[in-house]
Amino acid sequence: MILSALATSVGLNLALTVLLVAAYSLLRRRPPYVEVYAPRRPFAPLEPWLAAAWRRSEEDIHAAAGLDGVVFVRIFVFSIRVFAAAAVLGLGVLLPVNFFGDQLREIDFGDLPNKSIDLFSISNVQDGSNKLWLHFSAVYIITGITCYLLYHEYKYISGKRLDYFMTSKPLPQHFTVLVRAIPVSDGVSVGDAVDKFFREYHSSTYLSHTVVHQTGKLRRLLNDADNIWTKLTNLNARRSSGEPSRKFLGLFGRNDLLGMYQKRLEDLEENVRMEQSDATRRQEIPAAFVSFRSRYGAANAIYIRQSDNPTEWQTEHAPDPHDVYWPFFSTSFMERWIAKFVVFVASVLLILVFLLVVAFVQGLTYLEQLEQWLPFLRNILELAVVSQLVTGYLPSVILHFLSSYVPSIMKLFSTMQGFVSVSGIERSACNKMLRFTIWTVFFANVLTGSALRQFEIFFDPKEIPSKLAVLVPAQASFFIAYVVTSWTSITSELTQTAALFCNLLGKCATCCKRDGSKSPSMPYHSEIPRILLFGLLGLAYFIVAPLILPFVLVYYCLGYFIFRNQVRSFCELLNDFFCDQLLNEDDLDHLLMNLYNTYCMWLACLEVFRNDTSDIFWLT
């Protein structure tokens, strides 16, 4: 890539980033768009978002998003510190040494825009030059700085985690274990089998248990009621704000929809009452929540195998009540094992399919190869502006666009594996995304970028290090453009582009508006792998192509302010109803008995029956 192509990419992405930030700063103050950026606020925010994000303290972030949010923001802090030091070394020492080298050719300052950015890489330093000691010394220095900062962050976060455990009050899930794959003989119920087993082997710590029942129909009814309640709330909010009624094809207005939703809600109420009254005759699932009198007793049940047969009496931590994911409680050990195998195969196939996409994207960065593929575009590609856009901007945009759909696919794969908690699904999706990102975005671009014929290096493992030493530096230009394009990608998180377009098109009136009563979660499973990828790119190309460092540093600075602002916004959407109800109880035994005797039914209703839904209906 030549310097003018890189400058074109930087200019376009910088303009888009400024445009998106300006759009957010203006639209968030306008009443029609408050429901997009702060749906539970009755007024537009007045304080500038950048100043508010900067002044937000870590205690505020902890109160808003918990320790997870603090760690997420600290990743940006750590990355900014590392790459600030790396930028000083790279731009102040290594870049001038590379630029004034003469390995490639003599520098013509009059034609500098048409020169390759390889002039700024280590490729321009003579082999065996004494100047290479500067590069080696810089590697040791940045390694020491990174290790020290890692130790500092680990000590800081571990202290925060210890403080959290020492100051938090005991909660029922700390004393409860989820038991699955319960073996049941003929004529014996699941509840009797659980009670007999734990009274025999955990007699001193066992307290009570609650068997999980098949409640698929009830969950579907409650989900329908939740969706209708959301639409009804949105319509009432629009009516109270005085917004004029929108009619579909001039036939159906808000009054008609209000009546229709209220009637459907009444019908669902009756159906749910009937389903609740039939709860005792539902089929039992070989799973139960078992409560103990102490945390030690619960820990014993989790970390000590309960049976000689590893497929029976499987124990794990009980998820938090608001974190339960119900559909896969009935799956057996073999079903979960088969699901994991199928998901593994599907993930590998997805990576292989994406390799074809990467090969096509890398073909765009080489005009000679592109002209061979599409000879009829040769005259167009010879235009300077077109060649700069195609080689400097288009490949990274395509890769970003296609990669944006992968997190939802990985989350779907994780959902299929049989997890019983939403956090478990997201953690698994995060691991899958990390592997996918490293292999397809980094290694696939390295191997398919310089030449599509480089796969023979795998046939001689001894040659892999030397081949990678040639291939990795050759892709510096592509990864610099990829990092620059990420500026626009991360800024779209600030503007909530999808929700904004949905609002602008007028589709949010009834069906697709975001539910303001629910607090949205941070996209950890998609953002953390991306953050780690840019850390890998920055450290890998620190010595090879230090020109990448300022662009990586700008990305982390943008992410720091944007996600601090997002955490600040999420703080206003939190609903602590569940925790408030639990912490008001004093008698722990009484709390455990009452909570887990109704655990299955009550948690399924929790998301629908909040304090602010009592005026619509209540099920007893």
Residue 405's pLDDT is 87
Tell whether 294 and 188 lie within a shared domain: yes
Tell whether 34 and 12 lie within a shared domain: yes
Summarize the confidence of residues 235-262 as an average pLDDT: 60
Which residue did the predictor score with more confidence, 98 or 472? Answer: 98
What secondary structure does DSSP assign to 52-83, as a single string?
HHHH--HHHHHHHHHHHHHHHHHHHHHHHHHH
**Is 580 a member of any domain?**
no
Which amino acid, one-letter code, is at 44? A
Percent of the chain with pLDDT over 70: 69
Which residue range forms the structural domain that includes residue 277?
Answer: 172-330+586-613
Tell whether 371 and 464 lie within a shared domain: yes
**Is 229 a member of any domain?**
yes
Q: Residue 528 above 70 pLDDT?
A: yes
Q: Record the tokens describing residue 318, joined without a space.
A: 């009980």
Q: Residue 516 above 70 pLDDT?
A: no
Instruction: Give 463-515 pLDDT, tens digit per residue.
Output: 667 776 677 777 788 888 888 888 888 888 888 777 777 666 654 444 444 45
Tell whether 488 and 597 lie within a shared domain: no
Q: How many domains does the chain have?
A: 2
Residue 47's pLDDT is 66
Torsion 147-443-83-54 (CA) sign: negative
Tell whether 226 and 349 lie within a shared domain: no
Q: Residue 199 above 50 pLDDT?
A: yes
**Is 349 a member of any domain?**
yes
Instruction: Give 318-342 pLDDT, tens digit per residue.
Output: 888 888 888 888 788 888 899 999 9
Band the pLDDT of 618: cuts 50, 70, 90.
Answer: very low
Band the pLDDT of 100: cuts 50, 70, 90.
Answer: confident
Instruction: Give 404-421 pLDDT, tens digit per residue.
Output: 889 999 999 999 888 888
**Is 620 a member of any domain?**
no
End-to-end CA distance of the chain: 68
Residue 604's pLDDT is 37
**Is 393 a member of any domain?**
yes
Tell whether 208 and 129 lie within a shared domain: no
Band the pLDDT of 198: cuts 50, 70, 90.
Answer: very high
Tell whether 270 and 391 lie within a shared domain: no
Residue 373's pLDDT is 58
Instruction: Give 474-483 pLDDT, tens digit per residue.
Output: 778 888 888 8
Tell whether 378 and 365 lie within a shared domain: yes
Q: Residue 599 above 80 pLDDT?
A: no
Tell whether 421 and 485 lie within a shared domain: yes
Judge contact between 287 and 179, C-beta under 8 A: yes
Residue 345's pLDDT is 93
Instruction: Give 291-312 pLDDT, tens digit per residue.
Output: 999 989 999 999 988 888 888 8
Residues 6+ apart with CB under 8 A from 179: 194, 287, 288, 289, 290, 301, 306, 313, 314, 315
Tell whether 72 and 200 lie within a shared domain: no
Q: For the ranges 283-287, 343-347, 359-363, which has the lowest average pLDDT? A: 359-363
Residue 206's pLDDT is 92
Query: Bridge-partner residues for 287, per DSSP?
Result: 180
Instruction: Give 561-593 pLDDT, tens digit per residue.
Output: 988 888 766 554 443 333 333 333 333 333 333
**Is 438 a member of any domain?**
yes
Band the pLDDT of 394: cuts 50, 70, 90.
Answer: confident
Q: Record the tokens describing residue 98, joined without a space.
A: 């590379």
Band the pLDDT of 113: cuts 50, 70, 90.
Answer: low
Band the pLDDT of 401: cuts 50, 70, 90.
Answer: confident
Q: What does the mean pLDDT of the chain come to? A: 75
Tell whether 413 and 427 lie within a shared domain: yes
Helix, strand, coil share of the chain (percent; to 5): 70, 5, 25
Band the pLDDT of 452: cuts 50, 70, 90.
Answer: very low
What count of other Cβ atoms lies within 10 Å of the Cβ of residue 374?
A: 12
**Is 618 a member of any domain?**
no
The alpha carbon of 186 is separated from its chain's Cα centroid by a whole number of angstroms, namely: 45
**Is 373 a member of any domain?**
yes
Tell whether 358 and 308 lie within a shared domain: no
Q: Record the tokens describing residue 564, joined without a space.
A: 């601090």
User: What does the alpha-carbon distance between residue 265 and residue 256 come to, in Å, rounded to a whole number?
Assistant: 14
Q: Residue 190 above 80 pLDDT?
A: yes
Unique residue bearing structure tokens 């582009």 = 497
Band the pLDDT of 171: cuts 50, 70, 90.
Answer: confident
What secondary structure does DSSP assign to 263-307, as a single string?
HHHHHHHHHHHHHHHTGGGSPEEEEEEEEESSHHHHHHHHHS---
Residue 554's pLDDT is 93
